[in-house]
């Protein structure tokens, strides 16, 4: 079997997977998750940055009788929100993306063998 034949098989397999309805559904589900969550996180992050620049009185407000202020809490919540989004995405991917991706992977392997 020549090297050219292997490349042609792989190219055909990629085309078959790309044109599959499951692949289009996988891309749609991924985009419908990622775009809103990315927008929400960016708005939250930019609000934090804006408050640090233009609402210093609010951000320096102490919480109770501690040395903890609003800016510190907001900063820690940036980390928390990152981990929450990652956990939510992991659950989403396991339930909604991985089954489709596994099927597409099997289809790709079948097409390469033809």
Q: 23-54: per-residue pLDDT in tens? A: 999 999 999 999 999 999 999 999 999 999 99
Q: What is the count of structural domains for the chain? A: 1
Number of helical H runs and strand E runs in the chain: 5, 0
At 60-71, the pLDDT tens digits run 999 999 999 999
pTM: 0.84
CB 51 within 8 A of CB 58: yes
Mean pLDDT of 83-101: 98
- Whether the pLDDT of residue 3 is over 80: the answer is no
What is the domain extent for residue 21?
Answer: 3-113
Integer Cα distance of 82 and 106 in angstroms? 33
Neighbours of 53 (CB within 10 A): 9
- Whether the pLDDT of residue 2 is over 70: the answer is no
What's the pLDDT at 5?
81
Mean pLDDT of 101-106: 96
Neighbours of 36 (CB within 10 A): 10
- Whether the pLDDT of residue 1 is over 80: the answer is no
What's the pLDDT at 112?
87
């Amino acid at each position: 079997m020549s090297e050219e034949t292997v490349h042609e098989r792989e190219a055909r397999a990629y085309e078959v997977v790309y044109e599959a309805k499951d692949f289009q559904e996988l891309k749609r589900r991924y985009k419908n998750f990622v775009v809103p969550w990315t927008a929400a996180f960016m708005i939250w992050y930019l609000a934090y940055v804006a408050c640090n620049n233009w609402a210093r009185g609010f951000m320096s407000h102490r919480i109770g009788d501690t040395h903890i202020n609003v800016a510190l809490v907001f900063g820690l919540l940036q980390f928390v929100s990152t981990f929450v989004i990652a956990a939510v995405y992991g659950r989403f991917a396991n339930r909604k993306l991985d089954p489709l991706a596994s099927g597409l992977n099997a289809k790709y392997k079948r097409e390469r063998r033809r």
